[in-house]
């Protein structure tokens, strides 16, 4: 009898044109991957982490009952596009042009901004940028947990990033329900090592009001020693007096407007 892990893995692969395409993107041996699909072997720890990062799921989710997993992944949608695809036919020329100077920005970041749906709180999310043949793509993961619902839920956004005329543009869409598109514009870094990026983020509040909002945002590069599971566990809503938030970070994302200003402007990390 086919087990849930195998059925769930096959469902994720169904979002791609072929198994060969999945193996090519994962840089994994086709014969070995077929053994996973047939249930003969389970991926070891390192391989499992690669699978989870690639498909945008967590390890425990891959072992959910298949019906529950299908509901989690599809949320009523038919599998018409690759799970890690963008969902929009972005102009190739723009993506390749914008990816020429993005190599130094690849990697994972904590993203901070004032919650659009929970005033008085910051939200910390995990953003991972990587190079693909089509350009720079990324996954942004929100981890939400409340006292009323102690089991965390996750929202995942897939998007593209381009650097044009000394600004970094990111645009993504929410993948489970398809309810939101967000856009972020960041200042680049001119330091030898990219540690922090600041800019503005435009989206809608994740509540019944669905109010369009614009907030200041800060990206903080993760320590290379921190694993993705550990990083994701630190994501979620944060009180403004949380000890992990320092004064410089709070100043960078403060949504104030100077007297006489007619626009809501980004704050450069050098000005924070």
Domain ranges within the chain, ordered by starting residue: 4-74, 92-253
Q: Quick one: pLDDT at residue 46?
A: 83
Choose which CATH entry (3.30.465.10, 3.30.230.70, 1.10.260.40, 3.40.50.150) describes domain 4-74: 1.10.260.40
Nearest Cα residue to 140 out of 40, 228, 63, 241: 228
143 φ, ψ to 5°?
A: -120, 115
Q: Quick one: pLDDT at residue 151?
A: 67
30 φ, ψ to 5°?
A: -60, -40
Question: Quick count: other Cβ atoms within 10 Å of Cβ 235?
Answer: 20
- Percent of the chain at pLDDT above 70? 85
Average pLDDT on 183-197 reads: 90
* Half-sphere CA count of 145, side-chain side, radius 13 A: 12
Tokens of 160: 């593209």
Pair 199, 108: CB distance under 8 Å: no
Nearest Cα residue to 157 out of 188, 128, 130, 187: 128
Render pLDDT for 222-240 as a digit per residue (tens, 0 to 9): 988 888 888 988 999 999 9
Beta bridge pairs of residue 188: none
Q: Quick one: pLDDT at residue 76?
A: 38
On the question of pLDDT at 170 being above 60, the answer is yes
Relative to beta strand 135-146, strand 107-114 is unpaired
- Percent of the chain at pLDDT above 90? 36
Q: Quick one: pLDDT at residue 145?
A: 66
192/245: higher pLDDT: 245
Collapsing DSSP to helix, strand or coil, 199 comes out as strand
Query: Which burial class, exposed, middle or buried, applies to 80 when counting CB atoms under 10 A from its CB (0-12, 13-18, 19+)?
Result: exposed
Q: Quick one: pLDDT at residue 99?
A: 59
- Rounded mean pLDDT of the chain? 83
Question: Which CATH number does 92-253 carry?
Answer: 2.40.128.120
Average pLDDT on 191-197 reads: 87
Collapsing DSSP to helix, strand or coil, 213 comes out as strand
Render pLDDT for 39-95 as a digit per residue (tens, 0 to 9): 888 898 888 888 888 888 888 888 888 888 887 776 534 433 334 443 444 556 566
On the question of pLDDT at 12 being above 70, the answer is yes
On the question of pLDDT at 216 being above 90, the answer is yes
* Residue 238 DSSP class: E
pTM over 0.75: no
């Amino acid at each position: 009898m086919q087990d849930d892990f195998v059925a769930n893995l096959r469902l994720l692969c169904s979002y791609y044109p072929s198994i060969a395409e999945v193996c090519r993107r994962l840089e994994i041996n086709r014969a070995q991957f077929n053994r996973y699909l047939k249930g003969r072997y389970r991926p070891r720890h390192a391989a499992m982490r690669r699978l989870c990062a690639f498909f945008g799921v967590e390890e425990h989710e891959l072992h959910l009952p298949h019906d529950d997993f299908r509901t989690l992944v599809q949320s009523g949608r038919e599998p018409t596009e690759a799970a890690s695809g963008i969902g929009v036919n972005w102009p190739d020329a723009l993506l390749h042009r914008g990816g020429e100077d993005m190599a130094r920005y690849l990697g994972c970041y904590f993203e901070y901004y004032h919650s659009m749906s929970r005033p008085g709180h910051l939200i910390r999310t995990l953003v991972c940028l990587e190079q693909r043949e089509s350009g720079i793509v990324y996954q942004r993961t929100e981890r939400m947990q409340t006292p009323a619902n102690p089991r965390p839920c996750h929202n995942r956004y897939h998007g593209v990033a381009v650097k044009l005329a000394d600004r970094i543009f990111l645009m993504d869409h929410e993948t489970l329900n398809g309810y939101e598109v967000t856009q972020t514009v960041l200042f680049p870094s001119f330091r030898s090592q990219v540690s922090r990026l600041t800019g503005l983020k435009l989206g809608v509040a994740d509540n019944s009001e669905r109010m369009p909002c614009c907030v200041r945002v800060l990206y903080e590069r993760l320590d290379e020693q921190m694993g993705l599971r550990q990083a994701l566990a630190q994501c979620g809503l944060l009180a403004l007096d949380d000890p992990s938030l320092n004064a410089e970070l709070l100043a960078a994302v403060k949504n104030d407007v100077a007297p006489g200003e007619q626009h809501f402007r980004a704050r450069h990390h050098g000005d924070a």
